[in-house]
Structures are given as structure tokens and as C-alpha cells.
Amino acid sequence: MLKVDNLHQFYGGSHILRGVGFEARAGEVTVLLGRNGVGKTTLLKTLMGLVQPRSGSVQLGDTDLKPRTPFERARLGLGYVPQGREIFGRLTVEENLRMGLAGKPGGTPVPGELYELFPVLKQMLGRRGGDLSGGQQQQLAIARALAAGPKLLILDEPTEGIQPSIIKDIGRVIRRLAERGSMAILLVEQYYDFAAELADQYLVMERGEIVMRGRGAEMANDGVRERLAI
């Protein structure tokens, strides 16, 4: 679904991404792990076209994304849930969900399935996004990204600042989406246990490079937790 090859990115004179390459396949959760400051969020912004790479390629299926704007990438099937959620605090839950339909024809209804995945949202359609708890806002942000029916869902640290019960709910939703087989999921995480539970494949990033990769079932044997603690 997603193919990244030899991606390089600079901020000024700083070399942030150093030859990053990987694939994220439909029906799988690809987990990207690494400490703060190693280039994870820069990678995601590059995938979404918010910053342009110095070199390398990004493809969604057979489509070259490099010349595409962020809104074009969204229409092609990239769904992005940024770190910090970034919902519209003054809009209602329903209005936030409709923002996820901005690329669809007018009058397109909010998919009813979103309320099956996140029942709490149906109960709060008229409440402002800013009045929700952190965990509820995270569920809203994911639902907003799902509203457009993405081929690839990118999640940037969805467990940050979230209570354990909602972390479990989010994990169940991610697994359910992957098991359908039609969507690839790229999950950026620092919470090892959450990542290990969901990962079909894992990537570990250090100093802008992928330094470890493998199947999720082998994370413990490969010493991923120990590598992250160094």
C-alpha cells in the first residue's frame, strides 16, 4: 500500500531523515518506534506532504506522492491523526466528523460505522470538541481521519496522555481495521507494550535511520525493548 524509498530530509544544515525506506502493507499494522527527536514526526509530515524531502520517493499503491499536495494526498487515501490530536475545539463532535468529509461530495453522510467503532461519539454529537476528555478527543481525531475512508491510516502516538481504558479501546479499533485487509496502518509509538501487542511488523528509528526491523511477533526475541532503553 505504502512504499518509502531512500528518503532524505534536512532542516537547515541538520540531516533529519537519512535514507529511510520501508513498506506498509494492507491488512497489517506497521509500528514505528523510537525516542523523541529521532525523526519520527518529520517522517510523517514528509509522507503527508507538509514538508518536502530533499530526495527519495513515496508511493501509495502505484501513485507517486512526491508532487502531490497534502489535500491531494488525503483525497488519494492518506488519513493522518497528528500527535496532539488537533481537533477543532469550538466545533461540535458532528462538525469535526464532517470536516473529515471535506473531500467528498456535499451531503455525504458521516459513516455510521464510526459510531460502532467509537460509541461514545454518538452520545456526544452536539458537544464541542474542546469539552471532551483527552481520550474522547483522541477517538474523535481517529474517527475524523476514518470518515474519508483512507487506504492508509497514519497515527502519531495515539496513546499519549490517554487513560488506560481508552488505550485498550483504541487498540481494539486498530486491530479491527487491520483485520479487514483493505487498509494499511502506520502506528508511531513510544509505549512499547501497546506497540508490541498490535505490530505485524516493526521498525526502530534512531538518528533519522531505520536501525532495526522485523515481524511483530519477534520483537521480544529481537531485543527491541532493550534497544529502546539504551
Map out the domains of the chain as residue ranges.
2-229
- What is the model's pLDDT at position 84? 81
Which tens digit of pLDDT belongs to each residue from 122-180? 999 999 999 999 999 999 999 999 999 999 999 999 998 888 989 999 999 999 999 99
- What is the model's pLDDT at position 1? 85
- What is the model's pLDDT at position 155? 95
- What is the model's pLDDT at position 190? 85
Is the pTM value of this prediction over 0.75? Answer: yes
Q: How far apart, in whole angstroms, are the C-alpha atoms of residue 31 and residue 204?
A: 8
- What is the model's pLDDT at position 102? 85
Fold category of 2-229 in CATH: Rossmann fold (3.40.50)
Q: How far apart, in whole angstroms, are the C-alpha atoms of residue 194 and residue 209?
A: 22
Q: How far apart, in whole angstroms, are the C-alpha atoms of residue 124 and residue 218?
A: 40
Q: How far apart, in whole angstroms, are the C-alpha atoms of residue 153 and residue 97?
A: 16
Q: How far apart, in whole angstroms, are the C-alpha atoms of residue 182 and residue 113?
A: 15
pLDDT at 66 over 80: yes
Angle at 207 between CA 42 and CA 55, to 5 degrees: 55
